[in-house]
A = this chain, B = another copy of it.
Amino acid sequence: MGLHTVTFKNKPCILSTGTIAGPKESQGIVGKYVDCPLQDDTFGEDTYEKAECKMLSFAISKAIEKSGFDRGNIDLMVSGDLLNQIISASFAARDFDFPFVGVYGACSTMAEAFALAACLIDAGYMKRIVAATGSHFSSAERQYRFPLEQGTTRPPQSQWTVTGAGGAVIADRGSDVCITSATFGKVVDFGVTDVNNMGAAMAPAACSTILRHLQERKLEPGYYDLIVTGDLGALGSRIVKDLTWEKGVDISSNHIDCGEIIYKVIEDEFQGGSGAGCSAVVFNSYLYHELQSGKLNKILLVATGALLSTVSSGQGESIPCIAHAVSIERIKGVAHARKERVEKER
């Protein structure tokens, strides 16, 4: 068995990000970092699906705008989302005149898109790729659970799908915040069938990818300032800490979960946030800010996804899960050094 962690020697970087969050999300930690805290979760659209698509499109446009490049300088968009046939991403792609690679990793999509984009940039095939995803509480409830109008009671182990979108321009140069490696996840299924308990279902996948990443890069968990999971929620976070600890790896002091921190936890959200938009918003707003400002220097972003559908659950299947990881490190001065090298070469 070969190594499956790809390391990037040309240091593809996260040049800029764009984020938008719903009213509930904007009350929490990301509120002061997102580019657009929404007052109205329909974003002026007549369906929640259209609102979700518009949010994703906004995040992409904003990331490109902040990169300082025109849309014509973007080589590719890598995106996906939770809706059937990833319509948010596909319809958002229609707004732009660059090629599109559709991906699906459920709530792991942000890390999957970052990983693929970093590969394509590092290899020199492209110069600037926008990677983005998002989700919407109301469209997710309708598709995966019950129509909101039904007023179904939520069990205590459930999470709250984040209304929000986030994206970034991954580029060959221009920022000190670099993607240094990527570990693509394996599908892990521990036999959990409770579709309201995604955190427990996904924790083993997160554990598997974290352990493989550290082992293959020969790193101690303490190498990272933070090991950030996507949307395990409060219960799932406890489980992933336990599972890694059982394997002799202690991540308890530097692990956080985007789902656990995104809300001021009140009764309704129970275990915290979930959805593809969860890690997309938290990373691309708050965490990216901390990396840029030097408050954080090394992050392992491990976004997790539950690869079920209503059909698979209806047919009695358990929930296969996956976690993709990307290490994101601030390498002080790399942007400046590159700029000087490029100018010298002229």
Q: Which A residues contact B (CB, under 8 angstroms)?
A: 1-2, 4, 6, 47, 49-50, 72-73, 75-76, 80, 82-87, 90-91, 93-94, 96-106, 112, 116, 119-120, 122-123, 125-127, 143, 183-187, 189, 307-312, 315, 317, 320, 322
Contact = CB atoms under 8 A, between A and B. Distances in A.
B85 A308 contact: yes
B2 A75 contact: yes
A101 B310 CA distance: 21
Contact of A312 (B2, B87, B120, B307): B87
Interface centre among A73, A84, A125, A187 (most CB of B within 10 A): A187
Nearest to A310: B84
7 contacts: A83-B311, A87-B308, A87-B309, A87-B312, A91-B317, A96-B187, A102-B322
A106 B84 CA distance: 11
A317 B50 CA distance: 10
B80 A104 contact: yes
Given A6-B125, A72-B1, A91-B317, A85 B101 contact: no
Contacts of A100: 184-187, 322
Contact of A85 (B93, B119, B125, B307): B307
Nearest to A309: B85
A90 B2 CA distance: 22
Contacts of A80: 102, 104
A189 to B, nearest CB: 5
5 tightest CB-CB pairs across the interface, nearest first?
A123-B123, A90-B307, A99-B184, A85-B309, A93-B187
B4 A99 contact: yes
Contacts of A91: 307, 312, 317, 320
Given A49-B315, A87-B312, A93-B187, A2 B103 contact: no
Given A93-B320, A119-B119, 20 more contacts: A2-B75, A2-B126, A2-B127, A4-B98, A6-B125, A76-B184, A84-B310, A85-B106, A87-B308, A91-B312, A91-B317, A93-B322, A98-B186, A99-B186, A100-B184, A100-B185, A100-B187, A102-B307, A103-B103, A123-B123
A50 to B, nearest CB: 7
Nearest to A312: B87
A237 to B, nearest CB: 23
A322 to B, nearest CB: 6
A94 B311 contact: no
Residue among A85, A120, A315 having the largest count of chain B Cβ atoms under 10 Å: A85
A125 B76 CA distance: 20
A231 to B, nearest CB: 16
Contacts of A183: 99
A184 B93 CA distance: 13
A211 to B, nearest CB: 14
B102 A105 contact: yes
Contacts of A73: 1-2
